Structure 1
Amino acid sequence: MALKHPKYVAAVVQAAPEFLDVDATVEKTIALIEEAARQGASIVAFPEDWIPGYPWHVWLDTPAANFQRGFVGRYFDNALSYDDANAAKIAAAARDGRICVSLGIAERSGGSLYIGNWIIDAEGRTLVRRRKLKPTHMERTVFGEGDGSDLVVRDTPLGRIGVLACWEHLQPLTKYAMYAQNEQVHIAAWPGFSLYKGVAYSLGAEVSLAATQTYALEGGCFVLAPSAVTSQAMVDLMCDTDEKRRLLEVGGGFSMIYGPDGSPLVERKPETWEGVICQEIDLAKISLAKAAADPAGHYARADVTRLLINRRPNVRVQEFGLPFEASSHPNATDDPAAPEDAAIGSS
């Protein structure tokens, strides 16, 4: 039987979050999911840290000033936890719209935050929960790190799907780990490009989209590249001096979709435009692109260079038991529901 290739409409979001307001941003998220579903999309991708918005304030001021202005506590309180009601609402919206959703979030876990990417299938079930391996520069004042288990590609009815965030697309070995899993649809989640215009070219849209386009060409995969808009309300909130207003401008949305040969499949919208950009993709085109070059397949030279990867989760607390009679310990219990290490304690 001949191989069948999925063909469907994919969508990327270009919009501004309701910054530092998780409830309002979740409502906007659901509205954008519904809009993508109405346009016939089978998958929709959101920008990096879409909920509750990318923390641009860390690039504009000192850590002490951000504490004093309340950004640190507000950002933590408005991050998304996977076990809260807002996460359930988003999963239900994916299920109700029969659409796969890739969502960039600031993930709250215990007392820490992580740059998270959550992929939900059309049944509302979780496909991927991953964390950015290495927060970039000032991001390290806010977020913790992921680990090798976060380099994951999932097999789905829409093809093999994976996601990376922002400057992970400048990490050659990280990219190669994804290519080697035969990724077919890649989400490149960017935060937007309204920061340091004319100051730091490396943070701008042109070079970041070039890296995204290169990913499509190297990986021989479709790339959905959502990016967020910085709204006037966000600038007004974060920028209390003329210098800060010069460093963070309104706009910055440059969402794109690329084909497996690197070709742009949609026209760029104005950087302040908000909405959902849709494009039909045909996974049959991947084999044509990879016939010429497959860097993790026939175009590789494993006898010369190869990637070594540790996929184990970084477990910070490891429970264990000792081989002795539990009944001899003063903290022993016969309760079958008690933790396995219940017999371990101070004597």
Structure 2
Amino acid sequence: MTAQTVRAAAVQAEPRWLDLDAGVQQVVDLIGEAAANGARLVAFPETFVPGYPWWIWLDAPAWGMQFVARYSTNSMTRDGAEMARIAAAAAEHRVHVVLGFSERAGGSLYMSQAFLDDTGKVVGVRRKLKPTHVERSVFGEGDGSDIQVHETPFGRLGALNCWEHFQPLTKYAMYSLGEQIHVASWPSFSLYRGAAQALGPEVNNAASLVYAVEGQTFVLAPCGVIGPAAHELFADTDAKRELLRQGGGFARIYGPEGTELAQPLPETEEGILYADLDPALLAVAKSAADPVGHYSRPDVFRLLFNANPNPAVVRRPALPTVEEPADLVPVDGSDLIPTA
């Protein structure tokens, strides 16, 4: 990182559910708000545009089919007009952005994160390597090329989605790329509250905190919120409203040695967390433990990391055209014999 402190922001907000235009406008507005408060980097929750598909956790697939076409239509491409609007906002306000969005590519959707720099360039887009549990009924998976860390003026920036923070080898691959600022994007921690501890804020905020200390990185952990609009759309019974409670916003910002750097918001409140990231903390943290450096044991453990894209179709180059030899002449239109 540079020697200067940089202000970073983590969004805690309810998405504009299944409404692409409104969702993009919300992102543009939040970028402007963060920039007005001095942020040079702003991070958004998982699949913030057009919102996380909560129906997959609440009822049978037959019931959930009512959302499928609408969700696909309101998902965003990585290079379309909507991304261009967000990129223009990043350029206007001179901020870097990490945006969680449902990416539409052909007939498939992916849980993606876009990296935009302060000139409005889309530096990279990554996809969640393995969607979790019922997420696989909606989304495809990424490949090794989706392990990405990007150079910025204020440090090496990377990102993962949600339960990718419970994949030890994925994390180690990220650490190996020299990450200094990490975005841990989460959808909300309001699902199955009181019944599934692993989905709750204690466990998942612990994952973000451990990532910070284990990898010695700053961690921005933006988080979505479940509000009345989500209940209106997804929870048509009392049972579903109990399964998906309102609230769940638990955005956090952590230092590389475990310090909580921002005052949390109430879980039902929308807003932005801010923290000033002091690069001196990185040196302090790395001096104690560097898992891919002085604190590693490559003679005992090594990670095999295939960072190559893995496309479904590999096109072979066209074969060269074979020219007829000059000393051959046709006899009956099909046979060729040498000339005497």
State the TM bucket, normalised to the shorter chain.
over 0.9
2:124 equivalent to 1:128: yes
SS state at 2:312 partner: coil
2:170 equivalent to 1:174: yes
The residue that corresponds to 1:10 in the other structure is: 8
The residue that corresponds to 1:288 in the other structure is: 284
CA distance in 1, matches of 2:231, 2:216: 38
Residue 4 of structure 1 deviates from its aligned partner by 4.5
Aligned CA-pair RMSD: 1.2
The residue that corresponds to 1:139 in the other structure is: 135
CA distance in 1, matches of 2:320, 2:146: 37
1:160 aligned to 156, 159, 171, which one? 156
Segment of structure 1 superposing worse, 184-193 or 83-92: 83-92
What runs of 5+ residues in structure 2 fail to find an aligned partner?
325-340
1:315 aligned to 311, 328, 332, which one? 311
The residue that corresponds to 2:212 in the other structure is: 216
2:96 equivalent to 1:106: no
The residue that corresponds to 1:43 in the other structure is: 41
Contact persistence 2:8–2:42 (CA under 8 A): yes
SS state at 2:195 partner: coil
> 1:265-344 residue pairs with structure 2 within 5 A?
265-325=261-321
The residue that corresponds to 1:232 in the other structure is: 228
CA distance in 2, matches of 1:10, 1:305: 35
- TM-score with structure 1 length normalisation? 0.91
Contact persistence 1:6–1:284 (CA under 8 A): no
| Offset from partner CA, 1:33-63 (integer Å, 9 cap, x none) | 0000000100000000000000111000111
SS state at 1:252 partner: coil
| Offset from partner CA, 1:273-300 (integer Å, 9 cap, x none) | 1111111111121011110111111000
Q: Percent identity?
A: 53
CA distance in 1, matches of 2:197, 2:275: 29
2:50 aligned to 33, 49, 52, which one? 52
SS state at 2:115 partner: strand
The residue that corresponds to 1:27 in the other structure is: 25
The residue that corresponds to 1:87 in the other structure is: 83
Contact persistence 2:2–2:154 (CA under 8 A): no
CA distance in 1, matches of 2:229, 2:320: 63
1:246 aligned to 242, 245, 253, which one? 242
Segment of structure 1 superposing worse, 175-184 or 318-327: 318-327
Residue 101 of structure 1 deviates from its aligned partner by 0.5
Residue 156 of structure 1 deviates from its aligned partner by 1.3
CA distance in 2, matches of 1:117, 1:300: 29
CA distance in 2, matches of 1:48, 1:281: 22
SS state at 1:9 partner: strand
SS state at 2:281 partner: helix
SS state at 1:41 partner: coil
SS state at 1:169 partner: helix
* Matched length: 324
What runs of 5+ residues in structure 1 fail to find an aligned partner?
329-347
Q: Which runs of 4+ in 1 moved over 4 A?
A: none
CA distance in 1, matches of 2:288, 2:302: 20
Q: Cα–Cα, structure 1 residues 195 and 326, in superposed 2: closer, same or farther, change >3 Å?
A: farther
Contact persistence 1:6–1:159 (CA under 8 A): no
| Offset from partner CA, 1:227-268 (integer Å, 9 cap, x none) | 001111111211111111110011110101000001111122
The residue that corresponds to 1:334 in the other structure is: none
The residue that corresponds to 1:77 in the other structure is: 73
CA distance in 2, matches of 1:292, 1:226: 27
CA distance in 1, matches of 2:128, 2:303: 19
Contact persistence 2:2–2:279 (CA under 8 A): no
Residue 322 of structure 1 deviates from its aligned partner by 4.5
CA distance in 1, matches of 2:105, 2:2: 40
| Offset from partner CA, 1:167-197 (integer Å, 9 cap, x none) | 0000000000001111000000011111110
- TM-score with structure 2 length normalisation? 0.93
CA distance in 1, matches of 2:323, 2:72: 44
CA distance in 2, matches of 1:323, 1:124: 41
1:199 aligned to 195, 202, 219, which one? 195
Residue 326 of structure 1 deviates from its aligned partner by 6.7
CA distance in 1, matches of 2:58, 2:2: 50
Query: Given residue 32 of structure 2, which amino acid in structure 1 is its aligned partner?
Result: E
CA distance in 1, matches of 2:322, 2:79: 34
Residue 319 of structure 1 deviates from its aligned partner by 1.4
* Structure with max Cα Rg: 2
Contact persistence 1:114–1:131 (CA under 8 A): yes
The residue that corresponds to 2:181 in the other structure is: 185
